[in-house]
Structure 1
């Protein structure tokens, strides 16, 4: 009888241990299936051309990114403002309608013949958005464009914006630097002006920080478009600063938020 009781007790203990182990395994499996919401990016492109006269063809092309994962209206307004786009919502359908409207305006026929070129030309308008990076709720985008509408030459530009999706804001100079207007920035930027040919085409005596930049954990690059600080022939100017060289100029909260090394 004593042996029977001992066997039954052992069996109950073994069943309890197995049940507990099964519950722990089930819980672990449940945790592993929880994944972070996927960040989705799509795009819309509209393009067309129209011959408005024997010597003139108008061409239009505009591409924009679509962000179904971003729902904050303020952030979305800030994302599309540099692209010249404003809408009540930024769904793929709405953005397509906006781009079609912009295309129609760009290819509108002018009844006046005063502007017609003597020789055949294509006047074009091209612009687009590009993803530079998305990591740790930090989104960096490039806005670029080019065009020609007569004259000696066309134009080209590159603009960059970084968005802090955790705090729903655009990252600006004042979020990064203790004093963005410090006079020492002119010397720092000129010392990192690597392209000597571009440097010889400077149009300004003093280079200042601007809000056209992109960065990673190690460095920040400031972008200056044609005529901003140099002559047209110099093209777009890129000045890159390593964070380790200007660490005393950086805000502690910026270092922590963006894991700057």
Structure 2
């Protein structure tokens, strides 16, 4: 226990104060594993029998996801914490699976998730239908962890200036929903010393046809063939940021090997505007370029999508 405690103190004092690409890629891996644990591979939407229009309408209404926004805030000397969750209010299979996902994600998140291993994950064993209890449970753990770590750093800095307050925020919001799927957005921000904080912004889909998380939406064997679309999307992202970048410039601006932009660690997400690609800090470029994201129209990207994903977008 003393060894682990010392390791955490040293990590806080040194590693967290030096933002580097490797650590952020580890964080992305943790987040992607947390999300993909909820996915069942090779799911196929169940074909609906031909039935009358009135029955179909009733079915759509019954699968509407309703949520209640639950907020936890705590501020103390040296530490601030905020957790916001749009928590499902129903008892359907879709509601239950999203609640389980939220509990699992919160248990694998937190201000120091970067340095956690599987044994550090927190499991919520209370009533998963009580959104306030779930959010308060994890919020209190996050706040206590931040406060303890800040105190440890302050003790190491006996005769130096008091460290900046630590902060951690996570939001899980209902972004949008259609008759076929739900889109949840997950945004986190953590400051634990150093020149700047760190963020992760990504989204996931749950299918209403089989009430579970959608697996990776792009056929990952097509990474090479989809390169023209990925490069076009990244160039468009820079354009929206007020930067003019040519296709030839990308190889020098981005952290990529063999002139190939990788697919994002987090699955591209279904939206009503198209398929959105979201890259995290340091995933394909330096901190200064921000979190690259862009949306490709379904008419352009549909041929690269998995069967599961194309079944959910219908005739786009």
Q: TM-score, normalised by structure 2?
A: 0.61
Q: 1:236 to 1:107 in 2, by over 3 A?
A: same
SS at match of 1:121: coil
Q: 1:143 to 1:218 in 2, by over 3 A?
A: closer
CA RMSD of aligned residues (A): 2.9
Structure 1 unaligned regions, length at least 5: 1-30, 52-56
- 1:77 lines up with 2:100 in the alignment: yes
Please name the residue that 2:124 is paired with.
87
Structure 2 unaligned regions, length at least 5: 1-54, 109-122
- 1:189 lines up with 2:230 in the alignment: yes
> Are the counterparts in 2 of residues 83 and 143 from structure 1 also a CA contact under 8 Å?
no
- Kindly provide the CA deviation profile for residues 161-187 of structure 1, in whole angstroms up to 9, marking residues without a partner as x: 1111330221122xx44x322221233
Q: 1:145 to 1:217 in 2, by over 3 A?
A: closer
How many residues are matched?
221
Q: Which has the larger radius of gyration?
A: 1
- Kindly provide the CA deviation profile for residues 166-225 of structure 1, in whole angstroms up to 9, marking residues without a partner as x: 30221122xx44x32222123321122111648563111322223343223551111001
Q: Distance in 1 between matches of 2:86 and 2:181?
A: 16
Q: 1:105 to 1:247 in 2, by over 3 A?
A: closer
Q: Distance in 2 between matches of 1:144 and 1:119?
A: 29
SS at match of 1:150: coil
Please name the residue that 1:142 is paired with.
185
- Kindly provide the CA deviation profile for residues 126-178 of structure 1, in whole angstroms up to 9, marking residues without a partner as x: 111122102215111111111211112111110211111330221122xx44x
Query: Is the helix fraction higher in 1 or 2?
Result: 2
Q: Larger RCO: Structure 1 or Structure 2 (Cα < 8 Å, ≥ 6 residues apart)?
A: 2
Structure-to-structure mapping, 1:116-195, within 5 angstroms? 118=161, 121-173=164-216, 176-177=217-218, 179-182=219-222, 183-193=224-234, 194=236, 195=238
Please name the residue that 2:45 is paired with.
none
- Displacement after TM superposition at 1:45 (Å): 1.4
- Displacement after TM superposition at 1:237 (Å): 0.5
Query: Is the strand fraction higher in 1 or 2?
Result: 1
Q: 1:70 to 1:230 in 2, by over 3 A?
A: farther
- 1:202 lines up with 2:254 in the alignment: yes
- Kindly provide the CA deviation profile for residues 22-55 of structure 1, in whole angstroms up to 9, marking residues without a partner as x: xxxxxxxxx9xx894463211221112222xxxx
Please name the residue that 2:304 is paired with.
249
SS at match of 2:226: helix
Q: TM-score, normalised by structure 1?
A: 0.72
Q: 1:70 to 1:239 in 2, by over 3 A?
A: farther
SS at match of 1:142: strand
